[in-house]
Amino acid sequence: MDAKDVRKLREEALAGHDGRAAEIDKWSKDHGGAHHRVNRYASKVNPQALNALCDYIQGVLERVVLPDSLALLEILNYLRHYNFTETDEAGRDSSEFSLAVSEIEVALGHFQRDTAAALRYLVYRHSVKKNNRNYQVRAFPTFLYVEAALACNLMCTMCYQSDPKMQAMIKDSEKTMMDWDLYTKIIDEAASHGLCGIIFAGRGEPTLNRRFTDMIKYAWDKGILDIKFNTNVMKLTEKMVCDWLSMNAPLTVVFSVDAADKEGFEAIRLGASFEKVVANIEMFNRIRKEEFPDTPVRTRVSMTLFQDNQDPEAARKLWGSLVDEFTAKNARGEQSGSIYQNDLSGSPKNISPDVKCRVLFDRLYVWCDGKVNPCEDDYMSKLVVGNAYQSSLKDLWQGPAMMKMRLAHLNGKKNSCYPCNGCNGY
Ligand code: SF4
Ligand code: SF4
């Protein structure tokens, strides 16, 4: 089956997706908001440890004035009044400042190892939530998305990989894996700006990059405190899993699955084997339990709902027994299609005119060939702002191309940008 056939499959599936948004949103809300805690191996925040962290923050605030003192005060106030009966993860969109249970656990893990790292992590999580509401732009992005690999071993029906134009682009690309030299250049720069969050994501499968584990380790050794990646699980090996777990870093490993049964799973994740994915996740769990029971690594299943026959409740039951966290959310409306359809139909969609897309204010994507892009929805890089081989990320982040887009979005002119006009934004 080639990309054109997959595209057809996707279009058929989307045509049948009759807008379950309200139903899914209700399901999501009923199950605890953004992240549904299902089977956490560390399920309680330790009150003594939390108290020690609060005393430490208070001591710092009483001794010195820091650029982040006000943020720390808000964090301290939240932690001092922490509700220990809390069982659900806090949603990113809640109007009050809050921290998810997993964030508090990670902060306590950092605190045990390095008190300054714990403060840095908390301030970073605070800024994530503030940026999310206030469109503040910091001197350097809050997150960096790094594309370790452009290629993928699967061709999922909802993915960019199933766009024939994307396949043609991959075929013509000189680089389909990020070079080590480019990677260390961007991480060194990011670390010098105190970046805390890195997500290995983009348009391909990161475990295909031979040096992927080295990439994670390099970022962790450089002081990047929050490292997350998505994988389709097919290429996981025992060595890979042991290497990740032995870093003793609070990695978030997201297993990408979108269905609760073999038939549904393999109809979406073309090229994947349901049995292999389950076996590899079980292998991960066995190694973690037997050899690294105290690891701070967390696992999550992130399910995107884009067609009618996906059942989040059934998926939660199945995957919830295999991972620490389960999330299910609606694809962002037409995001489950291509944002470039303007090209095909000749008539601009001009959707969501009032959205001020948040990605322009908190993150940058670095593709494996060095291109720097504001988002991954624009997978053909029409919005590219420069190249990390030639420019610093800071210059690109603060440069005119990013500013022009931010201004358009802030001034209600999102749809003057192509392909933002075909995109719902974030
Ligand atoms: S595994 Fe991920 S990158 Fe690969 S085709 Fe599927 S969704 Fe796309
Ligand atoms: S509106 Fe869409 S295309 Fe534009 S920056 Fe946001 S995510 Fe990217």
Per-residue pLDDT at 390: 98
Cα separation, 172 vs 293, in Å, equals 45
Can you tell me the distance from the alpha carbon of 243 to that of 148, in angstroms, rounded to the nearest whole number?
17
180 — phi, psi (to 5°)? -65, -40
Nearest residue (CA) to ligand 1, atom 1: 232
Which residues of 143-183 form beta strands (DSSP E)?
143-146
Q: Is the CB of 425 under 6 A from ligand 2?
A: yes
∠ at Cα 96 (91, 97), nearest 5°? Answer: 80
Check pLDDT > 70 for residue 386.
yes
Atom of ligand 2 nearest to the CA of 355: 1
Question: Residues 140, 144, 145, CA angle at the centre, nearest 5°?
Answer: 155
Please say if the pLDDT value at position 90 is more than 50.
Answer: no
Give me ligand 1 centre to Cα 159, in Å. 6
Its pTM stands at 0.89
Atom of ligand 2 nearest to the CA of 358: 6
pLDDT grade for 193, boundaries at 50, 70 and 90: very high
Average pLDDT of the segment spanning 333-343? 60
151, burial (CB in 10 Å: exposed 0-12, middle 13-18, buried 19+): middle
pLDDT tens digit sequence for 100-133: 888 898 999 999 999 999 999 999 999 888 766 6
Ligand 1, CB cutoff 6 Å, lining residues: 152, 154-156, 159, 161, 204-205, 232, 256
Tell me how far the alpha carbon of residue 420 lies from the centroid of ligand 2, in angstroms: 5
Pairwise pLDDT comparison (256 vs 91), residue with the higher score: 256
Phi, psi values for residue 185, rounded to 5°:
-60, -50
